[in-house]
Amino acid sequence: MITARGGGLADLLGDYYTALAAGDPGRLPLAADVRFTENGQPIAIGAGLWATATWAADSRVVTVSEEAYGPGGTAGSVAGWGMITEGGADGADALLGVRLKTTGKAISEIETLVVRRGPFGRTTFPGRLLEPSAAMAEILAPADCGTREDLVRAANGYLDGVSRDDAGLIPAADDCVRIENGLQTVLNPGADGFPETFVSSGGLGGLGLGVRAQIRTLAFRYIEDIRDRRFVAVDTERGLVLVCCFFDHPGKVRDAGFDSPIAAPNSMLIWELFKVAGGLIRRIEAIGAAFPYGMRAGW
């Protein structure tokens, strides 16, 4: 898709953040029947974060886009996340994920995920969220590229493995890094960035372990299901696949036979971006926030 300024889908995503910080959705090429959700709730454009945001970072941490050509014209999908501030000088930082769907030259769908709590008990967001992730943006050698189906299969394998406690289902490289809301949650033996309260609780079954080794410790038994998976954008050139889904956490269930680190039931809306090269997941970056148990995304 080519925007009025001549840029592509990634530029359109940047335009969204700029318009948001100015509180002016009129700057965007919105379809007459555009749908908008914030944290799973359908609300009017101009409400929610549109009314409170006062600043947006110059760049996004990650961006992924995909175009499909069909009889109805070109359909585009672009998503990414970056930092914003709401409430002005006395305001607060938040991490904002935005997904746009375009039909022709107009935006027909806007889905947003606003993470307002610092990760893992932190009161601030990690500085890395102000910078683009170079590793995610890198273009793959042709021999390492998979098809759209290959990438979706790899992502599904990860989600199945995590929800069923079966590391064998997860096609992840041993040195695969995972970043969640800006913190590295695997292969991080020094627990860099994590508050002491989280480290001492033993969460995630060992931050020093790799993706599959963590699963083998059964540290994720508290995840009941990973449902409503939507593969919203796939970029085969960069090996990127973005899935939006819910992790259901039933809480400390009386007869579970293990102690869940999450006391009260909740469902976490997660946007998870996988980089897949040569058939293996090489890097994972994700954002997410907890919502009432059983909530749905509105899409």
Partner 1 sequence: MGEVSQDLQERRAYLDSYADRYFELLPSGGHPRLPIARGVTFTENGQRLRLGQGLWATATGAARTRAVTVLDGPAGQIATWGMVTEAGHDAILGVWLKVDDEGLIDEIDTFVVRFNDMSSTFSGSGLLDARRLAGPTPGLLDLVDEGERPSVAELRRAADGYLDGVSSGDAGLIPVADDCPRIENGVQTVLRTDGPLPGRAPNPATAMSVAQQVREGVTRHIAAARDRGMYLTDPSRGLVMVRFFFDHPGAVRGWQGRAPFIGPNSMPAWEVFKVRGGLIRHIEAIIAWFPYGYRWAAAEGR
Which residues make up the interface to partner 1 (CB under 8 A)?
23, 38-43, 47-49, 51-52, 54, 86-88, 90-92, 94, 114, 116-117, 250-255, 262-267, 290-295
With respect to partner 1, which residue has the nearer C-beta, 73 or 87?
87
For the CB of residue 292, give the shortest distance to partner 1 in the complex, in Å.
4
Whole-number Å distance between alpha carbons of 279 and 268: 28
Residue 197 CB, nearest distance to partner 1 (Å)? 13
Tokens read off for 40: 């799973």
Number of helices (H) and strands (E) in the chain: give both, helices first.
6, 13
Neighbours of 183 (CB within 10 A): 23
Report the 10 Å Cβ neighbour count for 120: 21
Tokens of 233: 């954008």
Query: Token pair of 125, please?
Result: 């967001």
Strands 62-70 and 73-86: antiparallel
Is the distance from CB of 19 to CB of 28 less than 8 angstroms?
A: yes
Pick between residue 4 and residue 47 the one whose CB is nearest to partner 1.
Answer: 47
Least distance in angstroms from the C-beta of 110 to partner 1: 14
Rg (C-alpha) for the chain, rounded Å, is 19
Strand partners, 180: 183, 286
- Residue 87 or residue 190: which is nearer to partner 1 going by CB? 87
Q: How far is the CB of 236 from partner 1 (least distance, A)?
A: 34
Compare residues 273 and 295 and give the one whose CB is closer to partner 1. 295
Nearer to partner 1, 203 or 210 (CB): 203
Name the residue nearer to partner 1 (CB basis): 39 or 102: 39
- Helical residues (DSSP H) of 166-208, grouped into ranges: 196-200
DSSP line for 212-275: HHHHHTTTTTT--EEEEEEEEEEETTTTEEEEEEEEEE--S-TTSSS--S--S-EEEEEEEEEE
C-beta closer to partner 1: residue 65 or 163: 163
CB of 235 to partner 1, least distance (A): 30
Taking the complex as a whole, the smallest distance from the CB of residue 120 to partner 1 amounts, in Å, to 11
| Min CB(210)–partner 1 separation in Å | 26
